[in-house]
Structure 1
Amino acid sequence: MTIELPAPLQTVLPFFHPLIMWVLFATSVYALFLGIKVKRTRQATGDAKKELIKGKYNIKHYQVGSVLLAFMVFGTIGGMAVTYITNGKLFVGPHLLVGLGMTGLIAASAALAPLMQQGKDWARFGHIGLNMSLLLLFGWQAVTGMQIVQKILSNM
């Protein structure tokens, strides 16, 4: 099944997913920065802790993580939808499978937030491990995604 789209939309639609994912990759690095600030705030004492608390890094980290979760899910579904709309099928390969796995990783990581708020160290370590894995996979996805973009451009 192929859905017929207007020509201008056919031209730009395949590039929404890569653009969103690059923004999310950069946002993930920012979330990492905020997470490091949260850890420093938690470990600081005295005036240094008071100064770090003013940055509200814990709130920012939580908010950025929530946005990442939402856009990762929508970006994954959107990328699959655009591929299906423009090609009439999905290309089941490493990029798709790793992307789906990453969506599961970020969901599992977010699910640990309430346990971290209760002070469970194992949840914090799990959260960090999942997110570091996610960031490494994101870097790999960026490379394979650009290869796919090059294929799309060469077929235009």
Structure 2
Amino acid sequence: MIKLSDSLSIQITIHKYGSHAQPPKTPQSSKKAATTNPLKLLPISLKTSKSQNHSSKDSHDPQNLLNQTIIHLKSASLPLTAVTLPFFLHPVAAGGQFGILEGRSFALVHPIVMSGLFLYTLYAGYLGWQWRRVRTIQDEINELKKQVKPVAVTPDGTPPAEPPKLSPVEAKIQQLTEERKELIKGSYRDKHFNAGSILLGFGVFESVFGGLNTWFRTGKLFPGPHLFAGAAITVLWAAAAALVPPMQKGSETARNLHIALNALNVILFIWQIPTGIDIVFKVFEFTKWP
């Protein structure tokens, strides 16, 4: 049974707060709300300053700046391509089907590269000759040693007190020995091998590119001294490189043939220069930039 005092207190509470009102919160519940929602207790100005500081940090973040830059570049790439594409596809030569491939820029690539390859051929030949000297000097030293007279000794078999002066043959042996040591330090064998590999790769590529460029510009090839000499030079490069395996096995015949083929290559290169200059003049006459 409910006591009269209890029912009276309930009625007083309902009358004070209303039928739908909640009873007042205890201090413990208010403390809990304050701890769970600390931002609700902060002033509005403090919240705003924190959000502004956060946005300013994002604006100075390098990763964020990089992402924004990439987005801007992506948006600008399409109009930039639309502007530059007609320039590259514009017909600049007689035919015009291949655009810039028929222009003067691509036509001058071949003579410029081949001029560099000619000088590089001479450099590769110098390296090969120096490596050959390493081998031939040793043969000379061995032959000179056979001419050295034995050192005179006393009757009891001991050498003389004062060493004899060097003979001209011994002085030559000493000179060649020092020269060979210096050549070995130069690592001419590896340098010559690397130079030959580069010359073979770039030479064959540029020879084919020269013929293709002529066809791009004119629609045909022109059989003549320059074309035939260029084809012969390309074949000589390949033939000289094919002799490397027997040369590494010590074949003197392969070495001599390697030298002969490369010497013929240089002669053809020199003979081809005047015809190449004539072609360059025609390029300037019949083509336009780029």
User: CA contact under 8 A between 1:69 and 1:106: conserved in structure 2?
Assistant: yes
Matches of 2:100 and 2:130 in 1, distance apart? 47
Matches of 1:140 and 1:148 in 2, distance apart? 14
- Normalised by the length of structure 2, the TM-score is 0.51
**Quick check: 59-68 or 34-43, which moved more?**
34-43
Alignment partner of 2:281 out of 136, 150, 153 = 150
C-alpha distance after superposition, 1:38-91 (max 9, x if no partner): 111112243332221110001101110111111111011100111111111111
Matches of 2:195 and 2:97 in 1, distance apart? 35
Alignment partner of 1:66 is 2:197: yes
Deviation at 1:35, TM superposition (A): 1.3
Alignment partner of 1:91 out of 211, 218, 222 = 222
Alignment partner of 1:25 is 2:25: no
Which structure carries more helix by proportion? 1
Equivalent runs, 1:7-22 vs 2, <5 Å: 10-22=103-115
- What SS does the aligned partner of 1:44 have? helix
Equivalent runs, 1:1-156 vs 2, <5 Å: 3-6=97-100, 10-45=103-138, 46-156=177-287
Identity of aligned residues (%): 41
Structure 1 runs of 4+ off > 3 angstroms? none
Matches of 2:100 and 2:179 in 1, distance apart? 58
Segments of 5+ residues of structure 1 without an aligned counterpart are none
Matches of 1:116 and 1:129 in 2, distance apart? 14
Corresponding pairs, count: 155
Deviation at 1:2, TM superposition (A): 6.4
Deviation at 1:134, TM superposition (A): 0.1
User: CA contact under 8 A between 2:100 and 2:106: conserved in structure 1?
Assistant: no
Equivalent residue letter for 1:24: L
User: CA contact under 8 A between 2:104 and 2:284: conserved in structure 1?
Assistant: no
Change over 3 Å in CA distance of 1:121–1:5 after alignment to 2: same
- What SS does the aligned partner of 2:99 have? coil
Find the structure with the greater CA-based Rg: 2
Matches of 2:205 and 2:228 in 1, distance apart? 16
C-alpha distance after superposition, 1:1-43 (max 9, x if no partner): 8632138x71211000001100000000101111111111112
Greater RCO structure (CA 8 Å; 6+ sep): 1
Equivalent residue letter for 1:6: I
Segments of 5+ residues of structure 2 without an aligned counterpart are 1-94, 139-176
Matches of 1:58 and 1:69 in 2, distance apart? 17
Equivalent residue letter for 2:106: L
C-alpha distance after superposition, 1:104-146 (max 9, x if no partner): 1110001001111111011001000000000000011122101
Matches of 1:3 and 1:69 in 2, distance apart? 32
User: CA contact under 8 A between 2:104 and 2:283: conserved in structure 1?
Assistant: no
Matches of 1:3 and 1:58 in 2, distance apart? 48
- Normalised by the length of structure 1, the TM-score is 0.93
User: CA contact under 8 A between 2:110 and 2:209: conserved in structure 1?
Assistant: yes
